[in-house]
């Protein structure tokens, strides 16, 4: 399917997309404040989750 946007329109649209949402930032800040240590966007895990607590993941699977 052909792109219906001009290159300039596509550039403006794509520039508005943020890598981290506000909700994700709020949740991760609260988790860190409560003492949960985690990693963001863990590529070694299936699906690359936004937030992963490896300590709990290892305990759960092994």
Residue 61 has pLDDT above 70, yes or no: no
36 or 2, greater pLDDT: 36
Sign of CA dihedral 46, 50, 54, 59: negative
The pLDDT score that the predictor gives to residue 10 is 93
Query: How much is the pTM?
Result: 0.55
The pLDDT score that the predictor gives to residue 2 is 76
The pLDDT score that the predictor gives to residue 62 is 43
Give the C-alpha separation, 59 to 36, whole Å.
15
Q: Taking Cα atoms as reference points, which of 60, 61, 31 lies closest to residue 50?
A: 31
The pLDDT score that the predictor gives to residue 8 is 94
Q: Taking Cα atoms as reference points, which of 50, 44, 54 lies closest to residue 25?
A: 50
């Amino acid at each position: 399917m052909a792109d219906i946007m001009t290159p300039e329109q596509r550039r403006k649209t794509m520039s508005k997309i943020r890598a981290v949402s506000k909700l994700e930032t709020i949740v991760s800040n609260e988790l860190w404040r409560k003492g949960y240590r985690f990693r963001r966007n863990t590529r070694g895990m299936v699906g690359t989750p936004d937030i992963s607590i490896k300590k709990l993941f290892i305990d759960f699977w092994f």
